[in-house]
A = this chain, B = another copy of it.
Amino acid sequence: MADKVFLVIGAGAGIGGHAAARFAQGGYHAVLARRSDEEGLAKLVAQIEDAGGKASGTLLDASADGTIEELVERTESEIGAIDTVLYNLGAQIGNRTLDNTPHRTFELGWRLGCFGLFRLAHAVTPRMVERGRGSILVTSATAAVRGNAGQHSHAAAMGGRRMLCQTLNAEFGPQGVHVAHIVVDGSVDAPDTLGKLLGDRFEAYKASKGEDGVIDPTAVAETFWHLSQQPRNCWTHELDLRPFSDVAWWNDNPDPKIAT
């Protein structure tokens, strides 16, 4: 059995995969779960092992009943105690008018963006509470703190996700479980999500952002590592990440209402 397990739900070639690599480098056994692409998953596991780390991979349909629960159970019984879990499932579907956001799309957004985290918390917190320690890291989006046009499904899911992180932290923090909500407020160099969303335009898009204008998932992974290693007398619950060249979500630049 591994001493410490890092479990990531949503392990693509972007933030999830890089976080797995960072925790493996730090001595954790990394368990990578993703919905599809067995080949891509195997490649991520192999890369970690080639670098001297320990890793396992599994396919997972997080929206289906019982799947997350079974994964937590299996990981704990076969691999080891989950010290840190990263909930890294996104629910971004691009900008769509309300008219183009069917009921089932909105519901699926909630299932992946909010309900899945609730289910995960149900499954892991009893174990973490028993051990008196554990970290639940949650990748999130600007849509968790403001709702833009076209983001009906995404923002409603993410707004719920952030509030859920706060209720989880309020209940479980005092029991030793650290819940952190990380707003990624910029484009990530993530071939499996943004890359697929943009398709052929991905490389041109990255070039248009300039040098260091797109977030490197290695850097996100380093911040996740830092959060998981904070001693319990000094925890961060909310923080944001963005490239230096991006305007923060709360800014427009220059302010067209005032410009003189």
**Taking beta carbons and an 8 Å cutoff, which residues of A are in contact with B?**
92, 94-95, 97-99, 103, 106-107, 110, 114-115, 118-119, 121-122, 125-126, 142-152, 155-174, 176, 178, 186-187, 197-198, 212-216, 219-220, 222-223, 226, 230-255, 257-260
Given A114-B156, A118-B152, A155-B164, residue A213 in contact with residue B233 (CB < 8 A): yes
CA distance A169 to B144 in the complex (A): 16
Are A258 and B223 in contact, with the CB atoms below 8 A? no
CA distance A119 to B106 in the complex (A): 10
Are A150 and B219 in contact, with the CB atoms below 8 A? no
Are A237 and B248 in contact, with the CB atoms below 8 A? yes
Residues of B within 8 A of A95 (CB): 254-255, 258-260
A221 to B, closest residue via Cβ: B234
Are B173 and A147 in contact, with the CB atoms below 8 A? no
Are B251 and A166 in contact, with the CB atoms below 8 A? yes
CA distance A256 to B164 in the complex (A): 19
Residues of B within 8 A of A94 (CB): 258-260
Task: Tell which of B103, B197, B223 touches A236, judged by Cβ atoms closer than 8 Å.
Answer: B223
Q: Which 4 A-B pairs have the closest CB atoms?
A: A147-B166, A159-B163, A219-B234, A239-B239
CB distance from A196 to the nearest CB of B (A): 11
CB distance from A212 to the nearest CB of B (A): 4
CB distance from A244 to the nearest CB of B (A): 4
A107 to B, closest residue via Cβ: B115
| CB-defined A-B contacts under 8 Å, sample of 10 | A147-B170, A149-B171, A152-B167, A166-B251, A170-B253, A173-B248, A212-B231, A223-B236, A233-B244, A234-B243
Are A163 and B167 in contact, with the CB atoms below 8 A? no
A226 to B, closest residue via Cβ: B226
Are A251 and B215 in contact, with the CB atoms below 8 A? no
Are B114 and A160 in contact, with the CB atoms below 8 A? yes
Interface centre among A147, A172, A248 (most CB of B within 10 A): A147
Residues of B within 8 A of A215 (CB): 233-234
Are A233 and B214 in contact, with the CB atoms below 8 A? yes
Are B144 and A174 in contact, with the CB atoms below 8 A? no
CB distance from A233 to the nearest CB of B (A): 4
Are B147 and A167 in contact, with the CB atoms below 8 A? yes
CA distance A239 to B159 in the complex (A): 18
Residues of B within 8 A of A251 (CB): 146-149, 166, 170
